[in-house]
Amino acid sequence: MLGAIIGDIVGSVYEFNNYRAKDFQPFFHPKAFFTDDTVCTIAVADALLRKENPAISLREWGRRYFANGGWGGHFRQWIVSDDMGAYGSYGNGAAMRVSAAGLLAKNVDDAIARSNRVTEVTHNHPEGMRGAAATAVAIHLALTKLSAADIRQKISQQFGYDLSLTVDEIRPDYRFYVSCQGTVPQALTCAFEATSYEDAIRNAISIGGDSDTIAAIAGAVAEALFGISDEIATRAWVYLPPEMRAVLLALYETAENTLPAAGKQADIKYVARNRSFRAD
């Protein structure tokens, strides 16, 4: 899940100022920041940990960080409404926020069930549900040490995505899309063709489009495939407020997974003082 957040932070400065190459420097731009993608990713993880209604968690976290901006139009309306239900979205927000479902999943069916639970409260269009589930399953399969080539084949077969294009073939004609169907296959390809976590994020930025969301999706899968270097994880950690770090620490502990460059003692003590999480 930290992989998704790092992708969001790195991609934040390129969303509306695409850089169609892999050689951007530095990796963390001085103006980089976490966006609504990170807020929603944390909210979903928090909901799964607490066994809470995802709609409640998404609204609570969304309102708390509403000033961050970047919200989609309908989702913005949904956050501030107390009674607005799912609105049939097939936006890529369904996939960028779902990484905790893949991390916690016990098997493929469980990954899909968890994904459906946190997605249907807003993005209940079939394409929204498909994009989120495909991302969660890809993360789960990567954690089982299946090869990227095998995961690519399984995702294509199970979810019907055309994953035949390479990153180099996608890049020249790719445009800005906010739909799952126009984002998830490309983001997954960026992870499947990578040689490392950093390379996956560079792939994602290089194709342009909705850069922070593409990098968040690719980053979540790439973390499961390759892990994240302590240097990159440590740099990302300082962007996050303590309450977000607490959710991350609790998530990795519950998933019995190692958090790259695990939080300093101050962060662990923060969790101890504020713990109210439990396994889903």
Q: Closest by alpha carbon to 122, among 159, 76, 188, 158? A: 76
> Rounded CA gap, 140 and 177, in Å?
26
pLDDT tens-place values along the chain, 280 residues long? 999 999 999 999 999 999 999 999 999 999 999 999 999 999 999 999 999 999 999 999 999 999 987 898 899 999 999 999 999 999 999 999 999 999 999 999 999 999 999 999 999 999 999 999 999 999 999 999 999 999 999 999 999 999 999 999 999 999 999 999 999 999 999 999 999 999 999 999 999 999 999 999 999 999 999 999 999 999 999 999 999 999 999 999 999 887 776 554 445 444 444 444 433 4
Q: Is the peptide bond before 26 cis (omega within 30 degrees of 0)?
A: yes
CA atoms within 13 A on the CB side of 271: 20
Joined tokens for residue 266: 């101050």
Determine the straight-line distance between the first and last CA of the chain, rounded to whole angstroms. 16
Residue 125 CB burial class (10 angstroms; 0-12, 13-18, ≥19): buried
Tell me the helix, strand and coil percentages in the chain, rounded to 5. Answer: 60, 0, 40
What is the model's pLDDT at position 261?
63
Which H or E run includes 99? helix 99-104
| Domains recognised in the chain with CATH numbers | 2-236 (1.10.4080.10)
Between CA 169 and CA 7 the distance in angstroms is 22
pLDDT attached to residue 257: 80
DSSP assignment of 235-274, as one string? HHHTTS-HHHHHHHHHHHHHTT-PPTTPPPHHHHHHHHHH
Q: What six digits make up the tokens of 93?
A: 């927000």
Let me know: does 8 contact 224? Beta carbons within 8 Å.
no
- The candidate with the shortest Cα–Cα distance to 101, out of 260, 254, 275, 210, is 254
Which residue from 229, 220, 211 is spatially nearest to 192, judged by alpha carbons?
A: 220
How would you class 175 by CB atoms within 10 Å of its CB: exposed for 0-12, middle for 13-18, buried for 19 or more?
exposed
pTM score, whole prediction: 0.94
